A and B are shown apart, each in its own frame.
Chain A
Amino acid sequence: MTTPFYPRDPLRHPPALTPGYKTSVARSPRAPLIAIDPTLSELTGPSFGPGDIAPGDNDLLTNHARAGESPIGERIILHGAVRDENARPVPGTLVEIWQANAGGRYRHHRDGYLAPLDPNFGGCGRALTDAEGYFAFRTVKPGAYPWRNTPNSWRPAHVHLSLFGTGFAQRLITQCYFEGDPLIAHCAIAQTLPDPRGIEALTARLDLAATLPFDAIAWRFDIVLRGRRETPFENRP
C-alpha cells in the first residue's frame, strides 16, 4: 500500500471558491495547494472491520426507529459499488451516509426548518463494502429543503456519503442526487462542479431490477475513489 495515487483531476472537483455557493467565499483558501510527493502519511489510511459497525447500521428504516415502527416516507434502497479509477473493487471500506428525513428536516440542532422531525428517523447509517466493493442501505427518500443562499434556494433531494479507501489521500465526501429531480439544475452546490458530467456522476439512477416489489424502490449509485499507479514511484527522477 505504498504505491502512489494518480493525481486528482482538478476539473472533476469543485474549485475552493465558488461564489454562487456563498459560504465558500470566506472558507476557501486563496493560495494554491502545495503539491507534495506522496509519503506513507498519505498512502496509508485507516482501516475498518466488522467491529466498527453493528448489524442494522445500514438500515435507516429501523436503526433509530421505535420498536415496531418505521419512518414516514418513500422506502428506498440506495446501493452501488465502490471501485477505484483502475475499475478494481474497493472491499471492506467504510461508507457512512447522512440525510434529511422525508420532509427535508435533519435531526441536527442547527436545522430549524418548518418540516417536522420524524421520531423514527435518525438520518445516518454506515456499511462496510463486501468483497466486490458492494454496499446497500435501506432508507427513506430524503425531502428537498430550503437553505440560506439566495432568498429562494432549495436543495434537491440528496444523501451525503463519506468514503475512505485504503489511503488517506483517497478520503472523499460527496452527495448523491436522484435522477429526474428538477432542483438539481437550480442547486448552487451541485452547480459548483465545473463539468456537467460530474453532476451525472453524482446522480443515482432508478434501478427497477433491484427494486423490491411492494416494498422499496432501488436507486443505484456507484462510487469511484482515486486509484493507485501500476508501478511504485514511476516517472520519478
Chain B
Amino acid sequence: MRPLKETPSQTAGPYVHIGLMPGAAGVAGDAHELGHDIAGPDAEGPRIRIEGRVIDGTGTPVRDAVIEVWQANAAGIHAGPGATVEPGFRGWGRVATDPASGGFAIDTVKPGAVPGPGPGERMQAPHLSLWIVARGINLGLHTRLYFDDEPEANAADPVLSLIEWETRRATLIAARAPDNDALYRFDIRLQGADETVFFEV
C-alpha cells in the first residue's frame, strides 16, 4: 500500500502566469520561457493550429486560464526517457487564454495514433492531452482533443468509446475550418449544457 498521501491540490489562482509563463506575464528579464515550443521547426508532420476559448458556466470566457498540452509526435511517440523522437519535438507546452478575449491558440504538429491501454490492444486516435488550470478550478482538469477529420480512428478510440453519450463525446472533437486544412476550432466549456468531458486519469 501507499506509505505517503499525495499533496492536495489548490487552485492556481489569478496570477498563475507569473509562475508558469513569466515572460508573457511581463515579469522583466525572463529569457527562459518554458512550454512555448510544443513542436519546434524541425518537428515532423503536418503543422496545425487550434483556436478556441475556455467558457464558464455563465457563458463568459475564462480570461485567466492556462492550458497545458501533452502529445505524441506525428509517428505516435511521446517524448521522454528511452523514447526516440526527432530533434525539436518536445510534445509539451502551455498557452494562456487572452486576458481581453479569452481566446487561446495552440501551434503544433498533428499527432499520430498512439497505442491503446494494456498490452496488444487497439490504437488510440490522434489526440492531444490537455490540462486546464485557472482561478476557481480547485484541481487541474484533464481532457483530450481529437480531430473531426479522423472519423474512423475516433470511432475505434478506446477512450472516446467509454463516453456513452454521443453528445458529450462531441465535446472532445476539434472541428477543422472549412477553408483551412491546418486550422481547428476547439472550445472548452467548464460547465453547462455542453460541458466538456473531463477525465479521471
Contact = CB atoms under 8 A, between A and B. Distances in A.
Interface of A: 1, 6-9, 12-16, 18, 21, 23-31, 33-42, 44-48, 52-54, 57, 64, 83-87, 94, 96-98, 106-111, 122-124, 126, 160, 162, 168-169, 171-175, 189-190, 192-193, 197-198, 201-202, 223-227, 233, 236
Given A122-B22, A124-B19, A13 B28 contact: no
A177 to B, nearest CB: 9
Contacts of A24: 11, 136-138
Interface stretch (B148-156, B175-183, B189-197): B189-197
A54 B32 contact: yes
A182 B2 CA distance: 32
Contacts of B18: 98, 106-108, 122-124
Given A26-B60, A44-B78, A108-B14, A39 B117 contact: yes
B124 interface: yes
A174 B192 CA distance: 26
A36 B199 contact: yes
B32 A52 contact: yes
A30 to B, nearest CB: 6
A178 to B, nearest CB: 14
Contacts of B116: 39
Q: Is the interface of A mostly helix, strand, loop or mixed?
A: loop
A173 B27 contact: no
Given A16-B139, A26-B136, A110-B64, A86 B15 contact: no
A23 B136 contact: yes
Nearest to B165: A31
27 contacts: A6-B2, A27-B135, A27-B191, A28-B191, A31-B197, A34-B198, A36-B159, A37-B158, A41-B144, A44-B80, A46-B90, A54-B31, A85-B4, A85-B6, A86-B3, A97-B19, A98-B18, A98-B19, A108-B14, A122-B30, A124-B19, A160-B16, A171-B140, A172-B9, A192-B11, A201-B8, A233-B118
Counting contact residues on chain B (CB < 8 A from A), the size range is 35 or more
B7 A224 contact: yes
Contacts of A85: 2-6
B76 to A, nearest CB: 9
Contacts of A198: 8
A111 B25 CA distance: 12
A31 to B, nearest CB: 5
Interface of B: 2-20, 22, 25-32, 34, 56-58, 60, 62, 64, 68, 70-72, 78-83, 90-92, 99, 114-119, 124, 127, 129, 131, 133-142, 144, 158-159, 162-163, 168, 190-192, 195-201
Nearest to A37: B117
B15 A111 contact: yes
Nearest to A195: B8
A54 B23 CA distance: 14
Contact of B81 (A27, A35, A47, A52): A47
Nearest to A30: B191
A98 B16 contact: yes
A171 B190 CA distance: 19
A47 B201 CA distance: 19
B199 A9 contact: no
A174 B10 contact: yes
A142 to B, nearest CB: 11
Highest count of chain B CB atoms <10 Å: which of A9, A42, A46? A46
Nearest to B192: A30
A222 to B, nearest CB: 8
Highest count of chain A CB atoms <10 Å: which of B30, B64, B138? B138
Contacts of B127: 41
B6 A226 contact: yes
A160 B12 contact: yes
